[in-house]
C-alpha cells in the first residue's frame, strides 16, 4: 500500500524501526484486511440487492404499491360523485314534497358527513401503507449500512505504524461485533420480505371484494410461494448442511434452541423433584438431560453459523474421503 505524498515513515517517526513484533502485526493485518474485504463485499452484495429491488425496479414493487395505494385510499373518504348524486336526489325529493303541498324536511346532516369506510378498505390500506413504509425504510437502512461499512474500512486502515494500525483495527472490529453489524445486515432483508407479504395480503383482500375467482387464484399462488418460503426457512433446522435459508431462519433457530433449553431445564427440575420426594434416582435420564441442556446452551451462545460449523466438524472421517474425491474430479 503506497503512502501519500509527503508522508513520513511511521516506523521511523515513532521510533519503532526494526521492531521484531512488526512481522507479527503485519501477518495479523494481512489476514484482517483480507477478512474485512470479504466481509465488506458480502455486506455490500446484500445491501445492493435490496437497493436494486426497491430502487431500480421501482416499476415492479415500490411504485406498484404506490399505484395501488392511489386507488385504495379513495375508499377511506366519501366519493365526490356519490355526494353529488345524494344531493341531487335530496333536492329532487324536496321539490316533490313542495309540489304535493307537504312541508319539506330539513336533513340533519349533509351527505358524506356520516360516511364510514368499510372494514375491508381499512385493512387493505393498512397493509399497503405498511408495505410501502417497510420497503422505503429498508432502502434507507441499506444505504446507511453501506456508509457504515465504508466508514469502518476507512477508520480501520489508518496511516500509522504497524502495531498502531493493528490496535486501531482490533478496536473498531470489536465495535462491529459488539453492536451486531453483521447480524443487522443479515436481518435487513427480513423487512423487505415482510413488505412483499403485506402487499400480497392486501392485494388478496382487495380482490375478494371485486372478483372471487381472481382473488382465490391469486391466493393459491401466494399460498404456494409462502409454503416454499416457509420450507426454505425451516429446512436448515432439520438439515444443517442445507444451502437454503431466509432471514427468519436464524430467528426461528434461536426460538427453537430457547424452547429446548426451557423444556430440558423443566425436565431437570422434575427429575430433581422426584428424587427429593421419592428417593428414586434416574441417573441415565438425568445425565442425558444435563448433557443436552449444556449442548443446546453452548449452541445458543455460539450462534447459528458457528453451531452449523461445529456439526460439520463432528462428521465422520468418511467426509474427508469425499473431499479428496471431489478434489480429484476438479480440472
Length of the chain: 331
The overall longest dimension of the chain from CA atoms, in Å, is 115
Find cell 410501502 and name the residue: 132
Please tell me the predicted confidence (pLDDT) of residue 13: 43
Please tell me the predicted confidence (pLDDT) of residue 319: 64
User: Do 218 and 204 meet the contact criterion of CB atoms below 8 Å apart?
Assistant: yes
Q: What is the mean pLDDT of residues 99-122?
A: 65
Cell numbers for 240, please give them. 444443517
Q: Binning pLDDT at 50, 70 and 90, where does residue 96 land?
A: low
Minimum mean pLDDT among 76-80, 185-189, 243-247: which range?
76-80
**C-alpha torsion angle, residues 223, 229, 233, 234 (rounded to 10):** 40
Question: What's the distance, CA 120 to chain centroid?
Answer: 28
DSSP string, 109-154: S-TTTT----HHHHHHHHHHHHHHHHHHHHHHHHHHHHHHHHHHHH
138 vs 94, which has greater pLDDT?
A: 138
Mean pLDDT of the chain: 77
Please tell me the predicted confidence (pLDDT) of residue 105: 59
pLDDT at 18 over 60: no
Residue 25: phi and psi, rounded to 5, are -70, -30
3-state secondary structure at position 301: helix
Q: What is the mean pLDDT of residues 192-212?
A: 89
What count of other Cβ atoms lies within 10 Å of the Cβ of residue 3?
10
CA distance 285 to 289: 6
pLDDT at 33 over 70: yes
pLDDT at 11 over 50: no
Please tell me the predicted confidence (pLDDT) of residue 103: 61
Q: What is the mean pLDDT of residues 291-295?
A: 88
Please tell me the predicted confidence (pLDDT) of residue 227: 94
Domains of the chain: which residue ranges?
Answer: 30-74+117-210, 248-329
What count of other Cβ atoms lies within 10 Å of the Cβ of residue 88?
11
- Pinpoint the alpha helices (H) of the chain: 10-13, 21-51, 62-72, 80-99, 119-155, 162-178, 181-208, 212-238, 247-278, 283-302, 304-313, 318-329
pLDDT at 117 over 80: no
pLDDT at 285 over 90: no
Please tell me the predicted confidence (pLDDT) of residue 9: 47
User: Do 172 and 156 meet the contact criterion of CB atoms below 8 Å apart?
Assistant: yes
pLDDT at 99 over 70: no
User: Do 199 and 127 meet the contact criterion of CB atoms below 8 Å apart?
Assistant: yes
CA distance 14 to 9: 9
Residue 99: phi and psi, rounded to 5, are -65, -30
Residues 6+ apart with CB under 8 A from 297: 261
Amino acid at each position: 500500500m503506497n503512502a501519500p505524498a509527503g508522508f513520513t515513515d511511521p516506523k521511523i517517526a515513532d521510533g519503532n524501526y526494526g521492531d521484531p513484533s512488526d512481522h507479527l502485526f503485519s501477518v495479523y493485518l494481512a489476514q484482517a484486511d483480507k477478512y474485512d474485504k470479504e466481509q465488506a463485499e458480502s455486506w455490500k452484495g446484500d445491501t445492493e440487492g435490496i437497493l436494486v429491488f426497491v430502487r431500480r425496479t421501482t416499476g415492479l414493487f415500490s411504485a406498484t404499491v404506490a399505484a395501488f395505494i392511489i386507488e385504495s385510499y379513495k375508499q377511506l373518504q366519501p366519493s365526490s360523485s356519490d355526494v353529488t348524486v345524494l344531493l341531487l336526489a335530496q333536492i329532487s325529493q324536496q321539490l316533490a314534497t313542495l309540489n304535493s303541498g307537504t312541508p319539506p324536511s330539513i336533513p340533519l346532516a349533509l351527505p358524506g358527513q356520516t360516511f364510514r369506510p368499510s372494514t375491508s378498505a381499512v385493512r387493505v390500506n393498512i397493509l399497503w401503507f405498511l408495505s410501502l413504509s417497510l420497503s422505503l425504510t429498508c432502502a434507507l437502512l441499506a444505504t446507511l449500512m453501506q456508509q457504515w461499512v465504508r466508514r469502518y474500512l476507512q477508520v480501520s486502515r489508518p496511516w500509522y505504524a504497524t502495531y498502531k494500525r493493528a490496535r486501531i483495527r482490533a478496536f473498531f472490529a470489536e465495535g462491529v461485533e459488539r453492536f451486531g453489524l453483521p447480524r443487522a445486515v443479515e436481518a435487513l432483508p427480513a423487512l423487505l420480505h415482510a413488505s412483499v407479504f403485506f402487499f400480497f395480503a392486501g392485494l388478496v383482500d382487495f380482490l375478494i371484494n371485486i372478483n372471487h375467482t381472481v382473488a382465490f387464484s391469486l391466493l393459491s399462488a401466494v399460498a404456494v410461494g409462502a409454503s416454499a418460503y416457509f420450507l426454505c426457512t425451516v429446512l436448515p433446522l432439520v438439515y444443517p448442511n442445507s444451502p437454503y435459508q431466509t432471514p427468519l431462519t436464524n430467528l426461528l433457530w434461536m426460538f427453537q434452541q430457547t424452547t429446548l433449553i426451557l423444556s430440558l431445564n423443566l425436565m431437570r427440575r422434575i427429575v430433581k423433584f422426584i428424587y427429593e420426594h421419592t428417593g428414586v434416582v434416574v441417573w441415565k435420564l438425568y445425565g442425558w438431560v444435563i448433557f443436552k441442556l449444556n449442548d443446546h446452551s453452548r449452541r445458543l451462545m455460539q450462534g447459528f453459523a458457528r453451531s452449523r460449523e461445529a456439526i460439520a466438524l463432528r462428521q465422520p472421517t468418511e467426509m474427508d474421503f469425499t473431499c479428496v474425491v471431489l478434489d480429484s474430479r476438479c480440472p
